[in-house]
Amino acid sequence: MKNHIERYRKPLGLSQHRLGKKVGVSRIAINRIETGKVTPSLRLANDIANALGVCLYDIFDLDDTGKYKHIKGDVKVKT
């Protein structure tokens, strides 16, 4: 699954190690998720989004098209 973890992580000054500590996984796990080698569980994906202060839909491309966007509250639309 494509994702934008690095795009949101770096401006916050978070290393993969630090993000991993925040969500309870290793740096290696964060790296594997960032590089698309592993798809995180829904719970971990949500924890990562919360740690980065963004919506799950902003970070993860759920259908590999990039068409889902977070609009307002919990409303998602496919463009």
Q: At what angle do helices 27-34 and 42-52 cross, to 10 degrees?
A: 100
42: exposed, middle or buried (Cβ count in 10 Å: 0-12, 13-18, 19+):
exposed
| List of domains in the chain | 5-78 (1.10.260.40)
Which pTM does this prediction carry? 0.80
42: tokens are: 């829904």
- Residue 2: closest CA among 62, 76, 71: 62
Average pLDDT, 10 consecutive residues per value, the chain (79 residues)? 93 98 98 95 96 92 66 50
